[in-house]
């Protein structure tokens, strides 16, 4: 006899989207970006997110929807769609490690720095969106570093 999904189990799955998932970013060839830490050790450039069902993501989606409704536009431009993607990815971003400024100093995580990275390269934006969307599946694996391309 098959059992239907319990609402309590569904709520538990949704609550997992509030947990942080950290994963390495990879280049177009699938190799992890890396940097040299202060102690001389190599480390992966990483990004940390919460899931698509998180409160922060829902709040950002609501804000974006209100903005669209207030604009009363019948059509969105490609730039608007890309900005929406960045905004929603940023809402789920809770950290990064391994980015540096032009002088070679490591950048601290800030929303502005994260926005600059997401806006600079669609491949990184795609990876961040994938991790957000597949958040629960990644958390259930022992090696969350294996992001699908």
pLDDT band at 135 (very low <50, low <70, confident <90, very high): confident
- In a domain, residue 58? The reply is yes
- In a domain, residue 22? The reply is yes
Residue 16 has pLDDT above 70, yes or no: yes
- In a domain, residue 149? The reply is no
Number of domains, the chain: 1
- In a domain, residue 47? The reply is yes
- In a domain, residue 135? The reply is yes
User: What's the mean per-residue pLDDT of the chain?
Assistant: 85
- In a domain, residue 2? The reply is no
Triad 95, 97, 102: Cα angle to 5°? 115
What pTM was estimated for this model as a whole? 0.79
Residue 35 has pLDDT above 80, yes or no: yes
- Kindly state the average pLDDT of the residues 95-101: 94
CB atoms within 10 A of CB 43: 14
- In a domain, residue 80? The reply is yes
Round to whole Å and give the CA distance between 31 and 35. 13
């Amino acid at each position: 006899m098959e059992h239907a999904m319990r609402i309590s189990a569904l709520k538990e799955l949704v609550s997992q989207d509030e947990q942080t998932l950290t994963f390495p970013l990879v280049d177009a060839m699938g190799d992890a970006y890396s940097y040299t830490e202060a102690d001389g050790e190599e480390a992966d450039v990483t990004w940390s997110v919460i899931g698509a069902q998180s409160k922060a993501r829902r709040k950002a989606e609501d804000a974006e929807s209100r903005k669209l409704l207030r604009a009363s536009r019948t059509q969105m431009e490609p730039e608007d769609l890309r900005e929406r993607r960045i905004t929603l990815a940023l809402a789920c971003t809770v950290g990064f490690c391994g980015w540096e400024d032009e002088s070679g100093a490591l950048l601290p995580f800030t929303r502005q720095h994260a926005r600059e990275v997401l806006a600079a390269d669609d491949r990184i934006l795609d990876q961040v969106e994938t991790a957000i969307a597949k958040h629960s599946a990644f958390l259930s694996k022992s090696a969350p570093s294996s992001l699908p391309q």
